[in-house]
């Protein structure tokens, strides 16, 4: 696709041609230079001169309401069109606007000249709009406006525009390894491969299921499904909006970093001794930040091990005592059992003559019995341990487990608190040193030539810190929304399954829920196949750029990374 010409009439900041009062015309057909085709068009200008508006006009002309969003209502799109009509200063404001795009498109080896014009007018508070299409100079009278929109979306998928129309911030976002850039690229490729259509079909099936006639429990489930679909859409919209804000903040941070780099270089070139000292302080601050981060991780790791138990030494002492009582109880139980099992054998030895013959005395049977009873009584008294009821046996651990617990208790009441206190003291010391270093860095220099640069640099650093905190807040909110979205999706799948279980296999609801299951499996297989094709093309094109057929043998893309 090569765009030849774009015409804008009272669109955004673009008014009409002052000479003809017609649309402003932009010739974009690339001009070859020798053997170079140069198929890329760049727009350069300050903020507010209309670069983004120009790209927006092309999107609007080709994809209509999709320029606002995939799920906007007709009234919302009409309001957008009315807001995009140019507002003149002083003279009467125009009541109409339009956009026209002329481009070459090659299909089945044949190049066609396509012309699309979209215009709208406000009369008596009502908006009328029109879209027209020409191919090779012939107007397509066989297509109505909706069919033209559908035809253009099939001819040029909306996802392609995200890959081929860039403003400076989006180029920077894609070029840098940022969260927003990854999300932008993933969303674009997902739309380009058609995976978003499968997701959209699943959502449409939810609406279909919710609107089918039913009764009883299924009706309640339909209502719940419709409510969940609305919640999911709301959370998804909030997540998308938040991701766009992440992209904007990341671009602002990149701009601030570039400005800081420029100011830092200027300071180094003009600052003399102070610049050298500032560089040393900055290196020290960077080193301290790294050490503080490592020290914080160490403190966090200690908090995740035995340290929480060290704050309850009384409880640990009680656990240790309980372990000892239970050990004695089990030991006494084992001793009593051993005595009980050997009591009869012991009695036989006591009443027999052989036993007493080895001792050298010979008491009579009555005395032998008295001695036996006394010995048994003393033995039971010696081996008697603490008696515990079954409900008092709280821990009931093995001997090996008891020893492990005792080692942990010793560590929690001994080395761990000391190690933790030393780690916290070291962290506090590093933070105090960093605070002092930061104060030295922020202190204005005496040199009058350097002071404005330092003040500007301090202002930029404050702005950077604010933007970094703002970015972190957005990322935390994104994580929360993603968790909420996953929970809602699980609930929706549960409701779908319940509806399927309530309905007969021949019912529309059952078939719709089964279709959703098939869509999930289809999406997985489609994603694997599509990313496989993309990986193969990436390898081929990269090898062509390197002028080596086998520079890369294989490229692998995770199909789940685009979700």
With contact defined as beta carbons under 8 Å apart, do 57 and 12 qualify? yes
Does one domain contain both 96 and 193? no
Does one domain contain both 478 and 550? yes
Cα distances from 22 to residues 15, 87, 99, 114, 210, in angstroms, run 9, 16, 12, 21, 50
Does one domain contain both 295 and 402? yes
**pLDDT higher at 322 or 427:** 427
Does one domain contain both 302 and 213? no
Helix and strand counts by DSSP (H, E) for the chain: 17, 6
Does one domain contain both 320 and 392? yes
What integer pLDDT is reported at residue 422 of this predicted model? 84
Domains of the chain: total: 3
Instruction: Please tell me the least confidently modeled range out of 70-74, 291-295, 442-446.
Output: 442-446
What integer pLDDT is reported at residue 319 of this predicted model? 76
* Dist CA 118 CA 10 (whole Å): 12
pLDDT (tens digit, 9 = 90+) per residue, 488-512?
888 877 877 776 666 554 466 666 6
- Rg of the chain over CA atoms, in angstroms? 40
What integer pLDDT is reported at residue 71 of this predicted model? 63
Does one domain contain both 74 and 48? yes
Does one domain contain both 464 and 348? no
- Whether the pLDDT of residue 449 is over 60: the answer is no
In-domain check, residue 175: no
pLDDT (tens digit, 9 = 90+) per residue, 31-69?
788 777 777 778 888 877 888 889 889 989 998 888 887
Binned at pLDDT 50, 70 and 90, residue 120 comes out as very high
Q: In what order do the strands lie in the sheet with 126-135?
A: 24-27, 2-9, 96-107, 110-123, 126-135, 138-139
Q: Which of 117-131, 227-241, 321-335, 442-456 has the highest mean pLDDT?
A: 117-131
Structural domain containing residue 468: 183-271+445-562
What integer pLDDT is reported at residue 6 of this predicted model? 94
Determine how many CB atoms are found less than 10 A away from the CB of residue 455.
14
When pLDDT is averaged across residues 134-154 and rounded to a whole number, the result is: 88
Cα distances from 315 to residues 309, 321, 389, in angstroms, run 9, 10, 22
pLDDT (tens digit, 9 = 90+) per residue, 283-340?
888 888 888 888 888 888 877 777 777 777 777 777 777 777 777 777 777 777 777 7
Determine how many CB atoms are found less than 10 A away from the CB of residue 450.
20
% of the chain at pLDDT higher than 70:
76
User: 3-class DSSP state for residue 45?
Assistant: coil
* Dist CA 181 CA 185 (whole Å): 6
pTM of the predicted model as reported, rounded to 2 decimal places: 0.43
In-domain check, residue 543: yes
- Where do runs of H (alpha helix) occur along 156-215? 158-164, 168-175, 179-192, 195-211
In-domain check, residue 217: yes
The CATH number that applies at residue 555 is: 1.10.287
When pLDDT is averaged across residues 360-364 and rounded to a whole number, the result is: 79
In-domain check, residue 34: yes
Binned at pLDDT 50, 70 and 90, residue 113 comes out as very high
Does one domain contain both 257 and 281? no
What integer pLDDT is reported at residue 118 of this predicted model? 94
- Whether the pLDDT of residue 274 is over 50: the answer is no
Give CA angle at 369 (368, 370), nearest 5°. Answer: 90
Instruction: Please tell me the least confidently modeled range out of 71-80, 271-280, 289-298.
Output: 271-280
The CATH number that applies at residue 68 is: 3.40.50.300
Q: 225: Cβ–Cβ under 8 A, 6 or more apart, which residues? A: 206, 209, 210, 492, 495, 496, 499
Q: Which of 402-406, 454-458, 463-467 has the highest mean pLDDT?
A: 463-467
With contact defined as beta carbons under 8 Å apart, do 112 and 135 qualify? yes
Does one domain contain both 247 and 199? yes
Look-up of token digits 């993933």: 186
* Dist CA 266 CA 40 (whole Å): 34
What integer pLDDT is reported at residue 102 of this predicted model? 94
β-strand partners of 102: 5, 115
Domain boundary among 417, 444, 471: 444
What integer pLDDT is reported at residue 339 of this predicted model? 73
User: 100 φ, ψ to 5°?
Assistant: -135, 135
**pLDDT higher at 329 or 239:** 239
Does one domain contain both 144 and 206? no
Binned at pLDDT 50, 70 and 90, residue 273 comes out as very low
In-domain check, residue 131: yes
* DSSP 8-state symbol, 444: P
β-strand partners of 36: 33
Binned at pLDDT 50, 70 and 90, residue 268 comes out as low
Domain boundary among 161, 191, 211: 161
Does one domain contain both 430 and 373? yes
In-domain check, residue 167: no
What integer pLDDT is reported at residue 128 of this predicted model? 92
Domain boundary among 444, 461, 492: 444
pLDDT (tens digit, 9 = 90+) per residue, 247-265?
778 878 888 888 888 877 7
What integer pLDDT is reported at residue 550 of this predicted model? 76
When pLDDT is averaged across residues 372-391 and rounded to a whole number, the result is: 69
- Give the mean pLDDT of the chain: 77
- Whether the pLDDT of residue 376 is over 50: the answer is yes
With contact defined as beta carbons under 8 Å apart, do 81 and 98 qualify? no
Binned at pLDDT 50, 70 and 90, residue 562 comes out as very low
In-domain check, residue 178: no
β-strand partners of 282: none
Does one domain contain both 261 and 285? no
């Amino acid at each position: 696709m090569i765009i030849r010409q774009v015409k804008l009439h009272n669109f955004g900041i673009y008014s009409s041609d002052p000479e003809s009062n017609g649309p402003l015309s932009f010739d974009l057909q690339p001009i070859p230079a020798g053997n170079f085709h140069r198929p890329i068009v760049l727009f350069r200008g300050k903020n507010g001169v209309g670069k983004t508006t120009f790209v927006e006009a092309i999107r609007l002309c080709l994809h209509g309401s999709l320029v606002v969003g995939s799920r906007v209502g007709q009234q919302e799109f009409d309001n957008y069109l009315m807001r995009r009509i140019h507002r003149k200063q002083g003279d009467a404001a125009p009541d109409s606007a339009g956009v026209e795009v002329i481009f070459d498109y090659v299909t089945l080896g044949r190049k066609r000249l396509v012309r699309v014009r979209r215009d709208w007018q406000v009369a008596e508070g009502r908006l009328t709009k029109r879209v027209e299409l020409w191919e090779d100079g012939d107007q397509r009278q066989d297509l109505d406006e909706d069919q033209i929109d559908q035809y253009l979306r099939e001819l040029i998928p909306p996802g392609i525009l995200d890959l081929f129309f860039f403003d400076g911030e989006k180029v920077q976002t894609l070029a840098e390894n940022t969260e927003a850039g990854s999300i932008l690229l993933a969303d674009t490729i997902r739309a380009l491969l058609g995976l978003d259509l499968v997701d959209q079909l699943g959502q449409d099936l939810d609406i279909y299921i919710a609107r089918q006639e039913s009764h009883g429990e299924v009706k309640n489930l339909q209502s719940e499904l419709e409510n969940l679909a609305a919640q999911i859409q709301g959370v998804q919209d909030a997540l998308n909006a938040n991701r766009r804000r992440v992209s904007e903040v990341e671009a602002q941070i990149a701009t601030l970093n570039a400005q800081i780099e420029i100011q830092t270089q200027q300071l180094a070139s003009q600052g003399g001794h102070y610049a050298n000292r500032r560089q040393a302080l900055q290196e020290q601050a960077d080193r301290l930040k790294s050490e503080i981060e490592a020290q914080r991780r160490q403190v966090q790791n200690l908090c995740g091990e035995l340290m929480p138990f060290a704050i309850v030494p009384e409880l640990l002492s009680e656990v240790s005592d309980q372990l000892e009582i239970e050990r004695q109880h089990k030991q006494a139980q084992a001793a009593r059992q051993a005595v009980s099992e050997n009591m009869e054998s012991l009695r036989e030895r006591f009443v027999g003559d052989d036993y007493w013959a080895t001792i050298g005395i010979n008491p009579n049977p009555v005395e032998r019995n008295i001695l036996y009873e006394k010995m048994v009584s003393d033995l039971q008294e010696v081996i008697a341990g603490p008696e515990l009821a079954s409900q008092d046996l709280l821990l009931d651990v093995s001997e090996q487990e008891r020893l492990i617990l005792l080692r942990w208790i010793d560590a929690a009441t001994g080395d761990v608190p000391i190690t933790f206190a030393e780690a916290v003291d070291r962290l506090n010391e590093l933070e105090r040193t960093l605070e002092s270093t930061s104060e030295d860095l922020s202190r204005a220099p005496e040199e009058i030539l350097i002071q404005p640069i330092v003040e500007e640099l301090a202002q930029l650093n404050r702005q950077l810190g604010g933007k970094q905190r703002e970015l972190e807040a957005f990322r935390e909110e994104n994580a929360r929304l993603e968790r909420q979205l996953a929970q809602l999706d699980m609930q929706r799948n549960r409701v779908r399954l319940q509806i399927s279980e309530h309905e007969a296999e021949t019912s529309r609801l059952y078939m719709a829920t089964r279709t959703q299951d098939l869509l999930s499996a289809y999406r997985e297989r489609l994603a694997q196949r599509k990313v496989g094709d993309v990986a193969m093309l990436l390898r081929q094109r990269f090898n062509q750029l390197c002028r080596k057929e086998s520079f890369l043998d294989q490229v692998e893309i995770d199909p789940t990374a685009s979700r």
